Amino acid sequence: MRSRRISCLMLLICSLFFSCADDTLYYQYQVIQDTAWEKDKVYYFTFSIEDNTRPYTITLDIRNNNKYPYQNLWLFCNEEPPIGTLMRDTIECLLADEFGKWHGHGISLYESSFPIRTNYRFPYPGQYTFSFRQGMRDSVIVGIQEIGLRIQPAGELDKK
């Protein structure tokens, strides 16, 4: 009888852990070939928005290694909506402090997250494409291994 109660209690605890649903709409990484990002290489992320009445948080994730020679990373970002004009932005990602200590999580591969839009309402439902191109002075930068884009309903980042 006691082992049955313990089993039921364990099952209840496990179901509580797995009952929390991840509400992430889109989460995709792209690998930077040979960790050498050429100036003219553009990375595209395409996703669909069905509910444009809901606010979203758009986060850019960067994975870099110790070979990245700079404190920051400048990126040119384009947002192509299903209707309307292309929106352009320039983003600075601070990957390290002034002493060279990486901000991201990791040991030899560091992951940093940069919210690029918070409480953002997409103007139209439909397919959107975000694209990123490195905006550093060098024609090729080394040490950036992957970039990722995450779209979540606003407030979801606070829960994790």
91-147 pLDDT, tens digit each: 999 999 999 999 999 999 999 999 999 999 999 999 999 999 999 999 999 999 999
Burial of 58 (0-12, 13-18, 19+ CB in 10 A): buried
pLDDT averaged over the chain?
88
Measured distance CA(88)–CA(130) in Å, rounded:
10
Whether the per-residue pLDDT at 9 is higher than 70: the answer is: no
Whether the per-residue pLDDT at 13 is higher than 50: the answer is: no
Residue 23: pLDDT band with limits 50, 70, 90: confident
Q: What percent of the chain has pLDDT over 90?
A: 81
Measured distance CA(95)–CA(115) in Å, rounded:
14
Measured distance CA(150)–CA(26) in Å, rounded:
5
CB 38 within 8 A of CB 139: yes
> What's the confidence (pLDDT) of residue 5?
52
Exposure string of 9-32, with b = 16+ CB inside 10 Å and e = fewer, is: eeeeeeeeeeeeeeeebbeeeeeb
